[in-house]
A and B are shown apart, each in its own frame.
Chain A
Amino acid sequence: EVQLVESGGGLVKPGGSLRLSCAASDFTFRNYNMNWVRQAPGMWPEWVSSISGSRGDTSYAHSVKGRFTISRDNAKNSLYLQLTSLRAEDTAVYYCARDYDSGGYYYMDVWGKGTTVTVSS
């Protein structure tokens, strides 16, 4: 079964760091762009970052640019998000999601269950 499983969330103090991981299974990971999407309590989803499948081109939301770093290891079928200089407003459930390309139309067709990041002193 195609699956994404996130890990690495937790409670961290403002200014702290955390590294999230996403393990992919049952699909050819290197062929897909991947995303991180977060959702703060009671809010709508917010796209955080994307990375392309083979070249590793990256893009970021303005709110996290310069603080978060997305990366991937295609040999390990894994996606990562390094979070630094964390703020209270980064508190959210963080999802990894696969980007599917259907003739140039992209959509996030497979999502993990999410991992919770709480930034609080």
Chain B
Amino acid sequence: DIQMTQSPSFLSASVGGRVTITCRAGQTISSFLNWYQQKPGKAPNLLIFAASSLLTGVPSRFSGSGSGTDFTLTISNLQSEDFATYYCQQSYSTPYTFGQGTKLEIK
């Protein structure tokens, strides 16, 4: 199984700020990396697929980069609705695996 490791687990930031979340795969996964946002009591919501492609309708303040084993999600100009938990997920091979999550909190 491909292990996905996210860091940090917790992040505190201010509205208007910028944060970067890192995801590392246990083996190369090319660009088969997706990012999801989840709010309490809700299902995960896709933001970015193929490492850097923004899903239609997702604000441009979200961006993703990376390939191989190392990936990042960057959120610029943080808005109040962005405070949530973020997960990376590899779709290179089954079993699909998720990172353990990064909880973004308001400072």
Contacts and interface: CB of A to CB of B under 8 A. Distances in A.
Interface stretch (A15-23, A45-53, A67-75, A82-90): A45-53
A105 B31 contact: yes
B94 A47 contact: yes
Given A59-B94, A61-B95, A102-B50, A45 B44 contact: yes
Interface residues of B, number: 26
A76 interface: no
A111 B34 CA distance: 15
B44 A106 contact: no
Contacts of A109: 46, 49, 55
B97 A47 contact: yes
Interface in A82-121: 95, 97, 102, 105-109, 111-114
Interface residues of A, number: 23
Which one of A61, A106, A114 has the highest number of Cβ atoms from chain B below 10 Å of its Cβ? A106
A112 B43 CA distance: 7
Interface in B73-107: 87, 89, 91, 94-101
Given A107-B34, A109-B55, A47 B46 contact: no
B45 interface: yes
Nearest to B42: A113
Contacts of B87: 44-45
10 contacts: A45-B38, A45-B44, A102-B53, A105-B32, A105-B91, A107-B50, A111-B44, A112-B43, A113-B42, A114-B43
What 4 A-B pairs have minimum CB-CB distances, sorted nearest first?
A111-B43, A107-B49, A47-B96, A105-B50
